[in-house]
Amino acid sequence: MNANSLPSPDILIAGAGIIGLSLALELHFRGAQVTVLERSTALQHASTAAAGMLAVDDPHNPPALLPLSQLSRSLYPAFLQRIESLSGLAVPFQTDTTIQYMPDGSTQRLVEHSLDPRQLAPALLEAVRATSIDLREHTELLSITETHQSLLRVESNGELSPAKLIHTQGAWARLQVRPVKGQMLRVQLPATLPLREVHRTEHIYIVPRTQGPQAGTALIGATLEDAGFDTALHPESLDHLRSLAAQLLPSLADEATAPQVEAWAGLRPATTDSLPILDAHTPCQFLAIGHFRNGILLAPATAAVMADLIEGKSPAIDLAPFAASRLVNR
C-alpha cells in the first residue's frame, strides 16, 4: 500500500441519496464493510425535493414497475423501524389514502401511504452514522480502472480498491439517465380544508403534511421539464401548478387563503422508459439508478434486490425489466 492509499472497503457506493444510503444500510447489516462517496452533501437533491408518495398503485406508473413497488411496500415498515432503532427518529406516515382522478372523470380511492422526505432524510442519515458505514461527503469519484478488481481514485483521498462498486448517483449517473426537472410549491392550507388524503391526477398532485414541522401545509407539484441541470424557479410554472390543483380543490386557488410557504425544483433521474436500471454493469460494478418519480417508494426494495444481486443470490422478483441492456439501442 502506498502512502496515498487508504484501507479499502468491501463495497464502495457512489452517491449518498435515498437509494445509496438505503443500500449501504442493507449491505452493512449483511456483514459488508461499506464506504459511500457523495460529490456534494448527502440527501440534498431528489431525496428531499420529493413529495414522498408511496405510489404503488398509481395507474400512470409503467406496469412493469408493479412487482418492485409491491415488494417495497411490504418492506417499508421494517425499513422505517430499522432507521428509527438506529437513529432514535421516528418517520411517521403522513397520509394513508389517495384520491386518484381518472381521465374519464371518475375517481379511485387507493390505500396508499405518503411520508415527509424531510423527516426521512435526517433519520436515515443519523441511522447510517450510527453504524460503521464510512460516509464521505464532498468527495467525488474521479476515475475507475477495472482489472481483476475495481481500482478507484477519489479526490484528495488517494486510492481505494474495493471488491465492488455500485453507482447510485441519481441524475448525475450519466449512464442512460437524464435529469428531469420538477418545480413544486408548498402552501398553507386554509382552515376550511383540513386535508388528510392525497389528491392526484396524471398531471398534478396535492400532498398534505399532517404531522411534524410542516403540518397544516400541502405540497403541489410538479412540472416535468427536460432542462438539463437547471433548477431555476419560474412564477408562471408555479401559478400553473396552483391552477391545476384548484381544479381539484378550489380553495387552493387564492393566494390570500392558501399562501405559498416555499417553492423549489428538483432533478429526477429518468430513463427513456421510466423504469430504473438495477443490474450488473461489469463483473465489479453495479447500477441502481433511474428511479425517476419513485425513488422514495422504491428505496427498500432496491436495497434488498441489489444486495441479493451483489451477493450472487436470486432476488425476490425478476429483474429482467430493469436490465441496462434494454436501453442500449434506444
pLDDT of 84 over the 80 cut: yes
Same-domain check for residues 282 and 246: no
Structural domain harbouring 38: 11-95+114-177+272-327
Q: What angle do CA 294, 13, 26 make, to 5 degrees?
A: 70
Same-domain check for residues 168 and 24: yes
Same-domain check for residues 185 and 266: yes
Same-domain check for residues 152 and 250: no
Residue 3 is assigned to a structural domain of this protein: no
Q: What is the pLDDT of residue 47?
A: 85
pLDDT in tens, 100-140: 999 999 999 999 999 999 999 999 999 999 999 999 999 98
Whole-number average pLDDT of the chain: 93
Same-domain check for residues 120 and 250: no
DSSP letter string over 169-182?
Answer: -GGG--SS-EEEEE
Closest CA to 54 of 220, 301, 257: 301
pLDDT in tens, 227-265: 999 999 999 999 999 999 999 999 999 999 999 999 999
Residue 106 is assigned to a structural domain of this protein: no
Query: What distance in Å separates the CA atoms of residue 176 and residue 236, rounded to the nearest whole number?
Result: 31
Share of the chain above pLDDT 90, in %: 84
pLDDT in tens, 217-227: 999 999 999 99
Query: What distance in Å separates the CA atoms of residue 315 and residue 311, rounded to the nearest whole number?
Result: 10
Q: What is the pLDDT of residue 140?
A: 85
pLDDT band at residue 36 using 50, 70 and 90 as cut-offs: very high
In one letter, which amino acid is 251?
A: S
Query: What distance in Å separates the CA atoms of residue 300 and residue 107, rounded to the nearest whole number?
Result: 29
pTM: 0.94
SS3 assignment, position 258:
coil
Q: Please write down the long-range contacts of 280-284, taking CB distance under 8 Å and 24 or more positions apart.
A: 280/309, 281/167, 281/175, 281/324, 282/146, 284/146, 284/149, 284/150, 284/163, 284/164, 284/165
pLDDT band at residue 144 using 50, 70 and 90 as cut-offs: confident
Domain count, the chain: 2
pLDDT of 329 over the 80 cut: no
pLDDT in tens, 270-295: 999 999 999 999 888 999 999 999 99
Same-domain check for residues 197 and 168: no
Tell me the CATH number at 160: 3.50.50.60
